[in-house]
Amino acid sequence: MHLYDLTIHEARALLDAGEISAVELTQAVIDRILAVDNDVRAYLTLTPEVALEQARAADAMVGAGLAPVPSAPAQGQPQGWPLRGIPIAVKDIICTAGIPTTCGSRILEDFVPPYDATVVARLKAAGAVILGKTNTDEFAMGSSTENSAFFPTHNPWDLERVPGGSSGGSAAAVAAGECLGALGTDTGGSVRQPAALCGIVGLKPTYGRVSRYGLIAFASSLDQVGVLTRDVTDAAILLGVIAGHDPLDSTSLDVPVPDYTAALTGDIRGMRVGVPREYFIPGMQPEVEAAVRAALEKLADLGAEIVEVSLPHTDYALPVYYLIAPAEASANLARYDGVRYGLRIVGESLEDTYKQTRGRGFGPEVKRRIMLGTYALSAGYYDAYYLKAQKVRTLIKGDFDRAFEQVDVIVAPTSPTTAFRIGEKTEDPLQMYLSDIFTLSVNLAGICGINVPCGFDAQGLPIGLQMMGPALGEMTILRVAYAYEQATDWHTRRPPI
């Protein structure tokens, strides 16, 4: 096996045993990026010099007798260096000190943050090697990474197809061996959906479980930093590093962080698995439904009890999301005005400067959502649209609350189809929005969800299985995901690139 094909826990074992060095591992991944990224286009910014410097520092820890150090959590934070020498990629909507953070937008093309986001600081404190910044739909607004202002990312399983979005760069990088793990963000499915389309694991934590400080906001009540990895064990490790209370984020939950790897027992006997009848809909790709049904049978074989549940307000999730998220985006993106930072196109007046800067700096999808959100918040329409959407959001959350009184976890498809062709849906925004129909509700309810691979279609494209848990139910979804993963071999397959 190539070094770039290792999982995080496999690489950590070799590093701790002294069989490889962090520099060797990092160089192997950099070489892999140089070999394939002209085709995949996963990265917007690559920082090989920084990465190798961090790798040398990781190796120096060993030479100084400082590592390996046990990584058992204490007071909710991992001790030692659980990611010592592990090459990690970061979605380019998360601030990195001294490294450009563009949000995939021309309006922030030259923005270099003076500070690290909390999640990046925690990666560094854990000894991770930061490879660079991955491509994203502009301001995370999209389901295919085609809305990046710079270029689309390609799916490593088929370079003519999308990797999903908006964390498509991170997902493609993990799938193609261009990093061992990556951070993404999930506002309406943007970690889980690209994970499904790229055949990897993607975990969206409970809202507030991971700090949003330094995450450039799209929709503040929905955004959450998540992880993309090759297997469930890696997701548990990476989540353990970035989770935890942060006083710099007022929405951060002040609750202890468990040892997520302790959930990986493989035993799900007696657990109740809910299957929502509303998630198996007309128009879903038949191979996706067949793979998900087969996965449910596998969970039953492992001792879980399969229970049908109802989430009756599911049909309203899409319109609710596309009122609330654009409304919050309209407010959050008002700061990009050509005055304080970012792109500045000087006009004949202050108002003209605003228009010129935002007109040239924002792409079509961002403009569309700003206009939708501004309309929903405008006088005379606020009560009819935004306020009503918030009320229905409460009903959607109530559906999940009642369902979790009956079951431990809810299992459904992640995406209604496998990866579609680049350009196939760009002219039809509604069809693009429907790509996230199974993932939006998790963000609206503020709960957690994980995607694991569960099969392939006739074209050899990955199919994803979504497991949803209650708020702070990460241990539960990791337990079920790991049991399913260990009973199958889908996660061991690699794209042909």
Q: Where do you find CATH 3.90.1300.10 in the chain?
A: 3-265
Handedness of CA 482, 29, 497, 194 (dihedral sign): positive
Q: Report the run of H or E that residue 324 belongs to, with start and end.
A: helix 317-332
User: Using CA atoms, how far apart are residues 2 and 8, in angstroms rounded to an integer?
Assistant: 13
pTM of the model: 0.96
Q: Tell whether the model's pLDDT for residue 70 goes beyond 70.
A: no
The per-residue pLDDT for 75 is 37
Average pLDDT in the chain:
95
Residue 328 pLDDT > 80, yes or no? yes
Query: Are 129 and 27 within 8 A, CB to CB?
Result: no
| The CATH homologous superfamily of the domain defined by 3-265 | Amidase signature (AS) domain (3.90.1300.10)
pLDDT in tens, 198-218: 999 999 999 999 999 999 999
Lowest mean pLDDT among 314-318, 364-368, 431-435: 431-435
Task: Count Cβ atoms below 10 Å from residue 47 Cβ, excluding itself.
Answer: 21
Rg (CA), the chain: 21
166 tagged catalytic:
yes
Say whether 105 is catalytic: no
Q: How far is CA 152 from CA 39, 93, 103, 164, in A?
A: 11, 16, 14, 10
Query: Residue 416 corresponds to which amino acid?
Result: P
- Whether 133 is catalytic: no
**Per annotation, catalytic residue among 71, 105, 143, 166:** 166
Catalytic one of 71, 91, 143, 252: 91
What pLDDT score does 155 carry?
A: 98
Q: Taking the CA of residue 301 as centre, how many other CA atoms within 13 Å lie in the half-sphere pointing to its CB? A: 11
Give the per-residue pLDDT at 66. Answer: 61
- Give tens-digit pLDDT for 439-494: 999 999 999 999 999 999 999 999 999 999 999 999 999 999 999 999 999 999 99
State the alpha helices, DSSP H only, in 137-186: 168-175
The catalytically annotated residue of 143, 190, 211, 441 is 190
Instruction: Give residue-wise pLDDT tens across range 8-25.
Output: 999 999 999 999 999 999
For every residue of 80-139, DSSP letters joined together read S-TTTT-EEEEETTB-BTTB---TT-GGGTT---SS--HHHHHHHHTT-EEEEEE--SGG
**For residue 67, is pLDDT > 80?**
no
- Alpha carbon 246 to chain centroid distance? 20
Closest CA to 223 of 233, 232, 214, 236: 214
Checking if the pLDDT of 76 tops 50, the result is: no
Rounded Cα–Cα distance for residues 261 and 144 (Å): 31
Q: Residue 79 has what pLDDT?
A: 53
Of 155, 107, 162, the closest CA to residue 363 belongs to 107
Would you say 415 and 282 are in contact if contact means Cβ atoms under 8 Å apart?
A: no
pLDDT of residue 77 exceeding 70:
no
Q: Tell me, what's the pLDDT at 68? A: 46
- pLDDT band for position 36 (50/70/90)? very high
Identify whether the C-beta of residue 192 lies closer than 8 Å to the C-beta of residue 450: yes
Share of the chain above pLDDT 90, in %: 93
One DSSP character per residue, 29-50 reads HHHHHHHHHHHH--EEEE-HHH
Q: How much is the pLDDT for 65?
A: 62
Looking at residue 341, what is its pLDDT? 85
Residues 95-103: what's their mean pLDDT?
A: 98
pLDDT at 1: 78
CB burial of residue 346 (10 Å; 0-12, 13-18, 19+)? exposed
Q: Could you report the per-residue pLDDT of 336-378, keeping only the tens digit for each?
A: 999 988 999 999 999 999 999 999 999 999 999 999 999 999 9
